[in-house]
Amino acid sequence: MTTASSAQSVRRDLANAPLLAAALGQDPARTPVWFMRQAGRSLPEYRKLREGTPMLQACFTPDMVVEVTMQPIRRHGVDAAIFFSDIVVPLKAAGIDLDIVPGTGPVVASPVRDEQAVTALPELDPANLDPIAEAVGVLVGELGDVPLIGFAGAPFTLASYLIEGGPSRHHERTKALMKAEPDVWHALLGRIADYTLEFLKVQLHAGVDAIQLFDSWAGALSERDYREFVLPHSQRVLAGLAFAGVPRIHFGVGTAELLPAMREAGADVVGVDWRLPLDEAVRRLQAAAPDAPKPVVQGNLDPAVLFAGWDVVEREVRRIVTEGKAAAGHIFNLGHGVMPDTDPTVLTRVVELVHSIR
């Protein structure tokens, strides 16, 4: 078994892989495409494999992680695999009592809402992530010339789950703690950033070729609050990964007003949801940092469009590929994750279409 503490970098030489070339602002052989949540409930083979196995158990079972990660590669021919896991895995590995409840999402047994609770948060023993390192190591050997994207949840999104006790529409307890007790807030996000960094370093040392940091709920914040309460912690995470020299993708939902700040956090590639056209996202990113290199973007087909019929899907895909040409590089993706009832044959056709467009 490959251990988290002893894993050496076994990263492959994939300089010509379209996803990595696009991420570096180079000219790939084709527009690369992958889908957030491509490994999951939209695939019948996934549902069959996962039957009777709780989500978090699956995330710590290397053989299952490998198989689920590989399924969309075999079926869709996407240009990258995304490591199968969940954003709360590092919290679970640290010993925090939580579970993923079907139909609800992550539920925390004892929410963290004061200084005492923050102080009591455990440290993460890297050995608890040995199954993650093992799964990445096997995948690196099986994927051939297909890049593997590692991922983690950003500190703000994980903090929201810990504070609210589960998913939240308005994040009221999260914002209240952030505003009323900033010292407690920053201590909490500092501890979560430690977890996130360790989780991602284990993946990097085991051989992933890129990483994506998901700040799913950052769009609930104003730019001012993001810069004061969130940016420093995401910045620390992304800066802590620079040693590996792999592309760092940063994505959030509803973050049109935050994109320049999210790039400042250390993103090499800025993920854009479906609410903002990619060419406008590029314009905003360039206007905010005129002396910086031209940005690279990822996105941004509305996942709901996949239900609209092929004529609509094709029209939208072609529009997005055209808009993506405004960037130094474009990785085609959805503007959020694949919905569970999506017809997987439509995803396969999208991959074929994107690859055919010159």
The one catalytic residue in 75, 79, 113, 161 is 161
Both tokens of 230, joined, read: 């969130």
Residue with structure tokens 């019929």? Answer: 309
Q: In sequence order, what are the beta bridge partners of 105?
A: 101
Whether 47 is catalytic is: no
Q: What is the DSSP string of 202-220?
A: HHHHHT-SEEEEEETTGGG
Residue with structure tokens 């890297």? Answer: 126
Whether 169 is catalytic is: no
Q: How far apart are CA 260 and CA 291, in angstroms?
A: 13
Whether 41 is catalytic is: yes
The one catalytic residue in 11, 46, 75, 86 is 86
The one catalytic residue in 12, 30, 41, 227 is 41
Where are the extended beta strands (E) located within 57-155? 81-82, 98-101, 105-108, 148-153
Q: How far apart are CA 68 and CA 33, in angstroms?
A: 18
Cis peptide leading into 300, omega within 30 of 0? yes
Q: How far apart are CA 225 and CA 221, in angstroms?
A: 6
Whether 161 is catalytic is: yes
Q: In sequence order, what are the beta bridge partners of 251?
A: 214
Both tokens of 342, joined, read: 């999506």
Whether 86 is catalytic is: yes
The neighbour count for residue 33, using CB atoms within 10 Å, is 30
CB 31 within 8 A of CB 320: no
Q: How far apart are CA 263 and CA 116, in angstroms?
A: 34
For residue 63, the surrounding DSSP H or E stretch is: helix 62-76
Q: Using only C-alpha atoms, what is the Rg of the chain?
A: 19
Q: How far apart are CA 82 and CA 332, in angstroms?
A: 14
**Catalytic sites, residue numbers:** 37, 41, 50, 86, 161
